Every structure is written in C-alpha cells, then in structure tokens.
C-alpha cells in the first residue's frame, strides 16, 4: 500500500538465451526499474522495455529460507523482500481447474481470457491477464499452472521499509499485463511472439 510494486520471475530455460532471474520494482511515482542477471535483450526488457525507466544488469538473490518463505534480493540497489506464501480455498480451486485443462486450452487466448476473468475475483487479485500484448507490442500467453497466495511480505529499500501488502490505485499494468492486486506466486510457463523488428519495439528501456 506504499505504492511500491515488486515482482520477480525465474526462468530456468528460455528459447532465446540462457535461463535468468529478474526483479521488477515500480516506485510510488510509477517508474519501473527492471533488474536482471543477463543482458536486457535476453531478459524481460526484450518485451516490456518501452515502459521501463531503467534496465539494470546485476546479481540477484532468490532463495527459499523456509518451506513457505522466499527471500528476494537486489544487493546493488539495497532491495530485499521476504514473502510468505500459502494456499487458500480459492487457490486450491484454481489449481484443480488448471490440472484439468487440456493442453490446447493453454494456447487459446479466448479460453485464457475467460479463465483470467474468473480467477481475478476468485483470488481477490483485481484484473488478471493471461494473454495480450506487451509494451513492445509482442503478444504473450501466460500459463500459471499452480498458484499460491502471499500471506505476508516485508519490503526494504535503501531508505525505507514497508510491510503492508495490498492493492495499489490504479491497478499497475505494463501493456496488457496487469500486476495482481494481491500477491501471488505461480509456477508455469510463458510464450511470447517472436521478435520482428519491423513490427515490434526493440527498446530495452524508455528514452529519457
């Protein structure tokens, strides 16, 4: 509720380069910084860069410190976040539904649109998007196969600390990708449209 938005992604493998980790931070003024441990053209900024103020390559820390607690760190920026996750009746219901999805449904934007419209209110996470267009104009499909909800979080910055997770107004988004209004942890996979420089932006951060 401070206005900070924090997200992290860990891709063990990708089709465009090495696996990588990234941490996204949006400050209360609305400026996004994307941190990654690979060069920007192989990271999330390949798709979201035109909406990002800074793209920083640096070491990141993603470590499970307990069975239900993830420690996220960007040492060079003085950012740490400890997140405790759990299951709810809603998350269990979504996971049961996901387990029964045929594989073709995970690639069908219409099915994913309906699923997202159900999942958002059910999880009390605001509007969710499982397909759409990124800021750099590539289409995407997100397949969250297993979901947990964030029960507690503590975010420390270089100059301040907050431990009151909750929704931000208006809901944060990057292109058609909405950031959940409730902390979620998901295991799954994501597919993006192949980069075509004649149709897509190649910016890895917005011009000053």
Three-state SS for the chain is CCCCEEEEEEECCCCCCCCEEEEEEECCCCCEEEEECCCHHHCCHHHHHHHCCEEEECCCEEEEEECCEEEEEEHHHCEEEEEEEECCHHHHHHHHHHHCCCHHHHHCHHHHHHHHHHHHHHHCCCCCCCEEECCCCCEEEEEEEEEEEEEEEEEECCCCEECCCCCCCCCCEECCEECCCCCEEEEEEEEECCCCCCCCCCCCCCCC
What is the pLDDT at residue 93? 96
Q: Would you place residue 158 in the very low, low, confident or very high pLDDT band (cuts 50, 70, 90)? A: confident
Q: What is the pTM of this model?
A: 0.95
What is the pLDDT at residue 29? 93
Two tokens, residue 106: 């995970």
Mean pLDDT of 187-193: 96
- Is the pLDDT assigned to residue 208 strictly greater than 90? no
Q: List, for residues 57-116, the tens digit of each pLDDT value.
A: 999 999 999 999 999 999 999 999 999 999 999 999 999 999 999 999 999 999 999 999
Q: What percent of the chain has pLDDT over 90?
A: 96
């Amino acid at each position: 509720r401070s206005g900070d938005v924090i997200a992290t992604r860990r891709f063990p493998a990708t089709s465009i380069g090495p696996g990588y980790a990234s941490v996204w931070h949006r400050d209360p003024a609305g400026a996004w910084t994307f941190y990654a441990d690979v060069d920007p053209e192989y990271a999330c900024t390949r798709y979201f860069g035109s909406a990002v103020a800074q793209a920083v390559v640096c070491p990141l820390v993603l470590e499970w410190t307990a069975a239900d607690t993830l420690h996220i760190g960007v040492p060079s920026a003085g950012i740490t976040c400890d997140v405790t996750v759990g299951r709810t009746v809603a998350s269990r219901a979504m996971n049961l539904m996901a387990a029964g999805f045929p594989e073709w449904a995970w690639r069908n934007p219409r099915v994913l649109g309906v699923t997202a419209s159900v999942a958002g209110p059910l999880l009390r996470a605001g509007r969710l998007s499982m397909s759409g267009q990124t800021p750099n104009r590539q289409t995407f499909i997100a397949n969250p196969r297993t979901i947990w909800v964030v029960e507690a979080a503590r975010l420390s910055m270089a100059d301040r600390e907050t431990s009151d997770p909750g929704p931000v107004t208006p809901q944060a988004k990057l292109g058609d990708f909405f950031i959940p209004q409730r902390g979620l942890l998901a295991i799954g996979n994501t597919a993006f449209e192949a980069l075509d420089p004649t149709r897509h932006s190649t910016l890895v951060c917005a011009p000053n």
